[in-house]
Amino acid sequence: MTRTTRDLVERELRESAGILRLEPAWVARDWLPPGRRLGLPADAYDVGVRGFICERWLASTTRADNAVGPDDEGISTIRTAAGARISLADAVAAAPDLLMGAAYAETHAGLGRLAKIFDFAERIPQHIHPPLEFAARAGRNSKDEAYYFPSGVDLGPHPETFLGIHPSLDRDRLWDEFTAVLRDWNDDRILRYSPAYLQVPEEGFFIPSGVLHAPGTALTIELQEDSDTLAMLQALNAGAIIDKHLLMKDVSDDDRASHGDTAPLHWIDWHENSDPYFYDNHRLVPQVFRDEGGATEAWIFYGSDKFCGKRLVIEPGASYRSAEKGVFSVFVWSGTGTVGGVEVVGLSHDRDELLVSHDRATDDLLYVNTGDTPLVILKMFGPDICSDAPLLARRR
């Protein structure tokens, strides 16, 4: 008898005691060169007409919105103990109650978040993500996002991020100047309207939809809403003109008809972008909440009920127990050890990524460092799971 996807998931959860091992999901982009810090062989980054491997998506059920590429690009794969492979998107669709818990699955359509590592040799061009109102018109989701810059890796040539708009600039004048930038589509002068902030290892930023941003070249671990939507606002980047298709790809037909090239300017949250305390109100610094017995756990993604994330550091010879409030994914940045008895090795592509099902997550889970260097683990959660996550500072 042929097993259904649900049967396969149920069997694997039973045999793995609720912890699923995931394979990397590599994503190509054709508008920037790769930073080559993802641990792939030198000749693996160039994928022809698709561009270069510049991102790795983590515990993803989201397809990368690329013009060229495989149908499942960006979607993670469960690798079973028997060697079978199951699409994580298919698994969540077929067995949401088994993976996410019955109560959570009744009110949430899926994991509801997208985690990724992005790795570019040049700064990402200035762009914006649509707030929910505008995203919904195009059948998309909004894209609030947050960044974490891990330590111990080269920051690249431009480790600074342009964010928001200089508070002193006049909105009416800016509208005219932004309109001219998008009409001409021939340079990078839109960057002059935004301040730039240094990318500091072990820190990050929270960026709501509607905020202009041009992320720098630091290797970045990102946690965001479940979406791959944007409007590119910067034409010239890394010495080349970007296809103007990326300006309008997620604009609804009605908004295109009403506003033409200026449609993405209606996405701008002018109050948030021009906040004189933008840095204070959007900077993320690890918030330690538990420090004991050679293990330290801190919030690194917080300030939103749409997603949250923690960093757990366990010293050599130490162990740590904790229970969570729901399903979460694990990414091991460095070190060796076990998570619930499952072997993990940092940045070893076949042993650094897990999904912990709801039932296993809500029990005490044992983490053990079996190596001679710190074991650094990132835990990432979807919406409405971490009610105890701290709020962002809101200085006004």
pLDDT per residue of the chain (396 residues) written in tens, 0 to 9: 357 999 999 999 999 999 999 999 999 999 899 999 999 999 999 999 999 999 999 999 999 989 899 999 999 999 998 888 999 999 999 999 999 999 999 999 999 999 999 999 999 999 999 999 999 999 998 999 999 999 999 999 999 999 999 999 999 999 999 999 999 999 999 999 999 999 999 999 999 999 999 999 999 999 999 988 999 999 999 999 999 999 999 999 999 999 999 999 999 999 999 999 999 999 999 999 999 999 999 999 999 999 999 999 999 999 999 999 999 999 999 999 999 999 999 999 999 999 999 999 999 999 999 999 999 999 999 999 999 999 998 877
> Which pLDDT score is estimated for 21?
97
Ordered domains of the chain (ranges, CATH): 25-75+111-282 (2.60.120.10), 286-381 (2.60.120.10)
- Predicted pLDDT at 81: 87
The pLDDT of residue 395:
78
SS3 letters across the chain: CCCCHHHHHHHHHHHCCCEEEEECEEEEECCCCECCCCCCCHHHCECHHHCEEEEEEECCCCCCCCCCCCCCCCCCEEECCCCCEEEHHHHHHHCHHHHHCHHHHHHCCCCCEEEEEECECCCCCCEECCCHHHHHHCCCCCCCEEEECCCCCCCCCCCEEEECCCCCCCHHHHHHHHHHHHHHCCCCHHHHHCCEEECCCCCEEEECCCCCEECCCCCEEEEEECCCCCEECCCEECCEECCCHHHHCCCCHHHHHHHHHHHHHHHCCHHHHCCCCHHHHHEECCEEEEEECCEEEEEEECCCCCCEEEEEEECCCCEEEECCCCCEEEEEEECEEEECCEEEECCCCCCCEEEECHHHHCCCEEEEECCCCCEEEEEEECCCCCCCCCCCCCCC
pLDDT the model gives residue 63: 94
The pLDDT value recorded for residue 1 is 35
